Amino acid sequence: MISILFVCLGNICRSPMAEGIFLKILEREHVLNRFEVDSAGLLDYHEGELADSRMRFHASKRGYNLIHRSRPVVKADLDKFDWIIGMDDQNIRGLKQLASTAQLSKIHKMTDFCIEINADLVPDPYYDGDQGFENVINLLEDACEGLYKAIIAGKL
Ligand code: 4NP
């Protein structure tokens, strides 16, 4: 079993979207049973909530059904998951503060796996309009394909 945790700040926009996209890739590749995928946030403000309604609206337009409920990341996650993927440098710093030295190598930035799009973060769309949410999905679709390829190739 390969386990992946996507992490952002609130766990209501970027990381549940990444989780939904990655799950769809696993479904397409018929390998869902080989992976455990989850998402979490560095903040607990939205604990128990579904993804932001704007994120779910834009996701549904591309065929993604986001059913995850927000939860905060906990230290045990750093032990449990094989790969922990943050969305920006602030997420990476927060995750590194929770990690032991041995766990640091599990932490990666989502955009490091982009194939087509040149970006160094997945921007927080919370205060943006429609285009911000579309941009997040574009970035995450590209980066999730790259992440899947990297895992399958044993590059991580
Ligand atoms: P996310 O976006 O990290 O992509 O889920 C955010 C949503 C809410 C907040 C921050 C980021 N917030 O501070 O409430």
Check residue 128 and give its pLDDT: 84
Q: Is 14 a catalytic residue?
A: yes
> Which pLDDT tens digit goes with each residue over 10-62?
999 999 999 999 999 999 999 999 999 999 999 999 999 999 999 999 999 99
Distance CA 79, CA 81 (A): 6
pLDDT band at 69 (very low <50, low <70, confident <90, very high): very high
What pLDDT sits at residue 92?
98
Backbone angles phi, psi at 27, to 5 degrees: -65, -45
pLDDT of residue 102: 96
User: Domain residue spans in the chain?
Assistant: 2-155
Question: Which of 6, 7, 11, 12 to mutate for ligand 1's pocket (most ligand atoms within 8 Å of CB)?
Answer: 12
Ligand 1 atom 3 nearest Cα: 9
Rounded Cα–Cα distance for residues 58 and 54 (Å): 6
- The overall pTM is greater than 0.95: yes
Q: Cα(107)–Cα(7) distance, rounded to whole angstroms? A: 10
- Predicted local distance difference test score (pLDDT) of residue 154: 82
- Residues lining ligand 1, judged by CB closer than 6 Å? 8-14, 41, 43, 45, 124, 126
For 21, the 3-state DSSP assignment is helix
Q: Is 128 one of the annotated active-site residues of the chain? A: no
Query: Is residue 75 classed as helix, strand or coil in its secondary structure?
Result: helix
Asked if 91 contacts 18 with a C-beta cutoff of 8 angstroms, the reply is no
CATH class of 2-155: alpha beta
Q: In the predicted model, is pLDDT for residue 156 greater than 60? A: no
Alpha-carbon distance 134 to 85, whole Å? 20
Residue where the block lists tokens 């440098």: 89
